[in-house]
Chain A
Amino acid sequence: MKSRILVFLFSAIISRGAFAADLTPSQLEFFESKIRPILADNCYKCHSAQAEKVKGSLLLDSREGVLKGGDSGPVIVPGDPEKSLLIKAVRYIDPDLQMPKKNKLPDEQIAALEQWVRMGAPDPRLATADQKKFNDNKTNHWAWQPVKRVQPPTVEENGWCLTPVDNFIFAKLAEKNLKPNPPADKRTLIRRATFDLIGLPPTPEEVQAFVDDNSPEAFAKVVDRLLASPHYGERWGRHWLDVARYSDTKGQPRRFFEDSINPFAWTYRDYVIRSFNEDKPYNMFVMEQIAADRLTTSQRNPTNLTALGFLTVGDHFMGMQNDVINDRIDAVCKGFLGLTVTCARCHDHKFDPIPQKDYYSLRGIFDSCVEPKLEPVVSPIYVTPAFETYHRQRDKLAFEETNLKDSLPKLRKSDQEAFKEARRTLQNVEHQIAMLDLTNTVAPMHAMVLEDAARGHDSPLFIRGEAGNRGETVPRRFLQVLSAPNRPIYTNGSGRLELAFAIASKNNPLTARVMVNRIWEHHFGAGFVPTPDDFGMMSEPPSHPELLDYLAQSFMDNGWSIKKLHRLIMLSEVYQQSSAGNPRYAEIDPGNRLLWRANTHRLEFEPLRDSLLAIGGTLDTNLYGRPVQNRALDSNRRTIYNFVDRANIADVLVNFDFADPAMVTGKRYETTVPQQALYLMNNPLVISLAKRLVAMKEFLSQDNDEAKLKFLYERIYQRLPEPLETQLGLEFVNATQLLDDSANPVPPAAESPKLNPRGKLAKHQPPANGKKAAPLTAWQEFAQALLQANETSFVN
């Protein structure tokens, strides 16, 4: 890297010399006295680096800019004013090309410009200093450099360091005279690890076993047990589905009659969960999601084809194919590479070295792909009576569908009313087909594949991103910034397979780093790079660049095993430290970027709801399968299995900051709004769980209130209550019981407000749906209070 900078500086010095040497003193004098003022007064406002908005991509404040020209091509031909657009523009002869826009220049200024072009346009100006620095940075940006093999730094206090990860963290802390926190207590730690890895709380037995295990491997055993749990894939699969903009619907279908349901999107969701559970090497995970159809492994195991859902599960954009392709490029580039390549759809990327041509290289690849009319069946078919019934229904609907489609063109001409009616019927039939495939458990599984078209073709560049405004054709190939010189042109079909290899390559500086950063982010609340989907020039530099590289390198060395990466991270002291505060440290490093303590995180909606079910003992632990269609989200299955409609996300999900399937989401927004509180205060599911908790045998069998309270704390928070908490809890329960007792003589069903069961605090809420439910008992109310308190929603 150092030598690169040197080379660059050297060439800059040479060229500066060359420019100055170009000009004779009289040329210099002519330019400075005549030309520069004209350009500065009349053109810079729209055509300079300082312009608020550069017009027509044309810069006239540097020699390079003048020679390079703008959207319409070069603006001067040195020596030939007649062929120079600039001269044509200032002459005001073409009504479509008149510059400056406001007023024609005085004749003598036009003459000076003509003379200047005739002289060969001598120009002493360099690119502005800012531009040059920017260009330097563009090449030298850390993220484009190869992953470095780094040795963990030696640190003084080796006693703290459990793993090499700690050396990096400790060294950075030591630079600021900070010390890491002591380890978290064991109950906190196992809760943290369990939520992190499987998105559920530990059972009281698991906690006890860990507390009792005094062997040095105790925590490693916990981590290994959790990594082996099938619920691991549900937790980490969901993180990936955020990136994959997963939804069970198409958003805006291609054709008016199409149904918006994607009946087999869930096969991709299951592929993701399964891949995490199987610890599929990440490079393979990447390749399958881009080109599973072209990999020989898919011939042996057709289920792998479901991986292609990554490309096809996006919005259908009313059939606007350019938008569909754009969405696929976006998912691939942000998801795997942390690059905002789609910014280059209309112009060269404003910040990163991604020329517009690169976008169209990728566009060529995806434009050479098709979604087959018949998606491949990837599950065995057993001809049972149930299947035969399904098959008959399906055939009948398909027959109707064909007939209706055939009838439409004729009807359109002959009978508008009948035409509209047929359209409606067709929509209805399509919906029935989608629902049948979605819900019938014997409907064969289809993979939402993408295939290479018969012939791969290159894409023209669309000037300013406009499909009708075609520029030169660009070859299909990989991004310039991530390629060696002479990057190969893709010829194998669409080029998708070659693209997959280029992304999954160990030489790609971004793939491993981006994934390591995602994993780190979900363990610590923030990644080394805070913007997981953008590692470009606009991103903040990593907090620990050496550690990021160390982890990326060992990730690749360990066969791209994500589970080994979790282990490496979690067995470190930095992961296991407590989250206790330190006001002095907080002033030095307010955002805890250096990790002097563990970060507390709020649970996302999925683990929050799943853990409520687990605590209440109603969680359905079945894995995989067709989505649960339940907008109220009160089913007992894990939340990841709930049907996601991208056009109409369930309100409860919106209120809890669910990842919008409109785009790649490596990091969810985190908002705090009253509806989240209302959910915990009033949602029937939460209330029913509170009731279940105090109806449990283990609760009822406790012989005193203190033991009951202890049971609830262990069940809900996986810890014992502090004395003050016991006091607080018992006071509340007793006071509530007193209120209840005093109200007891009064029949609770009475309608008169005077006869309210809560004595003097008689003020009922307006009943929901006109129904009044029995008031909660003191213990039910207390249990619900524990569910509402922050500790349920936060992991320490």
Chain B
Amino acid sequence: MNPDEHRMVDLEDHFLTRRQFLQRAGMGFGALSLAGLLGEGLFSAARALEAEANLLPKTPPLPAKAKHVVHIFAQGAPSHVDTWDYKPSLAKLDGQPIPGMDGVAMASPFKFSKKGKSGIEVSEVFPQIGERVDDLCVIKSMYTDIPAHEVATIMMNTGSRLVRPSLGSWVLYGLGSENQNMPGFVSLRPGGPPPGGTANWQSSFLPGLYQGVSINTKVPTLNQLIENIRNPNTPLPEQRRQLDLVHKLNELHSQNMQKEAQLEARLEAFEMAFKMQTEATDAFDLNKESATTREAYGRTSQGNQLLIARRLIERGVRFVQVWAGGWDHHQDLEEKLADRAKDIDQPLAAFIQDLKQRGLFDETLVVWGGEFGRKPVRDRNGGDNPGRDHNAKAFTTVLAGGGVRGGMTYGETDEFGNASVKDKVHVHDLHATILALLGFDHKKLTYRYNGRDFRLTETYGEIIKPVFA
């Protein structure tokens, strides 16, 4: 797959890098030149540029198994004991107290059966994903700190409860992007922002161009997908001229400005916006897919999201976050969980199949999972249609592709699925593992800020080597 074939090469020379811009701005004005007037300012800006952040692709320090990440976030905390972590003891004790726990056991309303050559037990709610289980690595022993959605969601995406760069921003910072005309980190959401909003894809103290670009995919037309992506009045070359003028005006104005980092990010944002107008519309245009492919993914919100994700990966986008939430089942679990599962079952199975067919599976790490798990006992709020309450001590995360061994499970929870007990994997450990698959030592991927070296995993994180292929 050559990402270049999607670029509009004939327009390339209209896309200015900042350095080119500065050179141009400096040369355009004869005696009373901008550069002359702003001499020092321009010089220092150009110098800063040398060491500045950029999106150019970088080689990771260690051998990498994956080049892209697609993180499908099952927000709301899916019940692991109804999906991936089969617990026959719950059925036996259904309606009776579980020793040492508060409340009565709730049997899973779903049947589990062994799937694939590996014989991993998968719930009937995932009929199609179940067929692909030999491609999956099911980590059953996840745990996190706080069983509250917003905190735990942000934790899963940033490794922290504070304002910290997201996983995608770290990856982009470390690896750059293979496509300079698209944001390197895209977050797809079917509707409004998830709990925690921007915090889930923010770059925090990392430079602004590592920020995720969040896109609402639940809109009827391509033009609404990235609002204002098209300008009916101004042809691109003309807009290029206009944008050059804007940059020059900004350069003059910035003499009195102080937020250099922010202005820098703004310049990048305008340039990226300009470039996106050609390539992004194409990347998001699902009409360019064959009817067969559309049907395979299903013409649903998640089907569309995963198909867009594949188109983005193909174009060299480094990290795609896919929000696939709605898993907070305190009540009506039988109906609602099945519904959520159905939503992702066909699209995810098709996505894996498609990646394989296109030779992208081995270089793309796919992650599916939520922010925590659920309790083996009934939620008291559920009444006649029971559900389960939050549980930070146990949940399941599924990995696939990019250097991960398929057809395996890792770790165990206790007899009832109340807590992870064997080979426990904390969120930090998962992050360390993802970075390792991408060719980084999580302890060495650092960024100096306020006089201190920060890293994604703070002072924690152990790589889960057994999941490597």
Contact = CB atoms under 8 A, between A and B. Distances in A.
Given A654-B216, A672-B266, A679-B227, A320 B235 contact: no
Of B100, B203, B223, B253, the most chain A CB neighbours within 10 A belong to B253
B230 A672 contact: no
A670 B205 CA distance: 12
A398 interface: no
A580 B239 CA distance: 31
B273 interface: yes
B74 interface: no
Main secondary structure of the interface of B (DSSP, over half): helix
A755 interface: no
Of A580, A647, A728, A762, the most chain B CB neighbours within 10 A belong to A728
Interface in A299-335: 318, 320
Contacts of A651: 216, 219, 224, 227
Interface in A645-683: 645-649, 651-652, 654-655, 657, 660, 662-663, 669-679, 681-683
A784 B258 contact: no
B191 A674 contact: no
Interface string A555-586: 00000000000000000000000111100001
B300 to A, nearest CB: 18
Contacts of B17: none
A789 interface: yes
Interface residues of B, number: 76
A615 B193 CA distance: 31
B3 interface: no
A718 to B, nearest CB: 13
B276 interface: yes
B246 A789 contact: yes
Contacts of B389: 466
B192 A466 contact: no
A676 B269 contact: yes
Interface string B104-139: 000000000000000000000000000000000000
Given A677-B273, A789-B249, A671 B242 contact: no
B467 interface: no
A775 B236 CA distance: 11
A768 B225 CA distance: 12
Given A466-B102, A649-B192, A669-B202, A674 B213 contact: yes
A93 interface: no
A776 interface: yes
Contacts of A469: 102
Interface string B166-199: 0000000000000000010000000111010111
A326 B109 CA distance: 31
A774 B243 CA distance: 19
A761 B242 contact: no
- Counting chain A residues whose Cβ lies within 8 A of the other chain, the interface size class is 35 or more
Contacts of A466: 102, 389
Contacts of A772: 232
Nearest to B280: A674
B371 interface: no
Contact of A672 (B183, B208, B238, B258): B208
Contacts of B246: 785, 788-789
A647 B249 contact: no
Contacts of A736: 238, 241
Nearest to B331: A318
B103 to A, nearest CB: 7
Interface stretch (A130-138, A402-410, A597-605): A597-605
Interface in B230-277: 230-239, 241-243, 245-246, 248-250, 252-254, 256-259, 262-263, 265-266, 268-270, 272-274, 276-277
Contact of B213 (A581, A673, A789): A673
A320 B274 CA distance: 46
B201 to A, nearest CB: 9
A471 to B, nearest CB: 12
A756 B269 CA distance: 29
A580 B256 contact: yes
B253 A789 contact: yes
B229 interface: yes
A592 interface: yes
A120 B29 CA distance: 90
Contact of A790 (B199, B230, B254): B254
A95 B99 contact: yes
B296 interface: no
B140 interface: no
A763 interface: yes
A741 interface: no
A767 B232 contact: yes
B330 interface: yes
B89 interface: no
Contact of A758 (B102, B213, B237): B237
Given A320-B330, A681-B274, A725-B249, A775 B233 contact: yes
Contact of A765 (B193, B195, B231, B248): B231
Contacts of B10: 763
Interface in B73-105: 99-100, 102-103
B49 interface: no
Contacts of A764: 235-236
Given A597-B258, A724-B32, A678 B229 contact: yes
B214 interface: yes
Nearest to A687: B233
Contacts of A762: 235, 237
A647 B197 CA distance: 12
Contact of B269 (A648, A674, A769): A674
Given A669-B202, A771-B232, A675 B257 contact: no
B321 interface: no
A678 B245 contact: no
Given A654-B214, A662-B195, A674-B272, A579 B256 contact: yes
Contacts of A53: 145
B48 to A, nearest CB: 12
A776 B231 CA distance: 11
B23 interface: no
B239 A681 contact: yes
B208 A765 contact: no
Interface string A677-720: 11101110001000000000000000000000000000000000
A663 B197 CA distance: 11
B438 interface: no
A786 interface: yes
A647 B262 contact: no
A687 B250 contact: no
A772 B231 CA distance: 9
A600 B254 CA distance: 11
Contact of B234 (A578, A646, A739, A765): A765
Given A579-B256, A651-B216, A675-B226, A96 B231 contact: no
A681 B231 contact: yes
Contacts of B266: 672, 677, 790
B381 A467 contact: yes
Contacts of A776: 233-234
B99 A675 contact: no
A485 interface: no
A677 B258 contact: no
Nearest to A679: B228
30 contacts: A466-B389, A467-B381, A580-B256, A597-B258, A600-B257, A649-B192, A654-B198, A654-B216, A669-B202, A674-B213, A674-B270, A675-B227, A678-B228, A678-B229, A678-B276, A679-B228, A683-B228, A724-B252, A728-B248, A728-B249, A756-B235, A758-B235, A764-B236, A765-B230, A768-B223, A774-B233, A785-B246, A789-B246, A789-B250, A790-B253
Given A781-B238, A788-B243, A796-B256, 11 more contacts: A579-B256, A600-B259, A662-B197, A672-B208, A687-B233, A728-B245, A728-B249, A732-B245, A763-B10, A764-B236, A774-B233
In order of increasing CB-CB distance, the 4 nearest A-B pairs are A761-B237, A677-B273, A674-B273, A672-B265
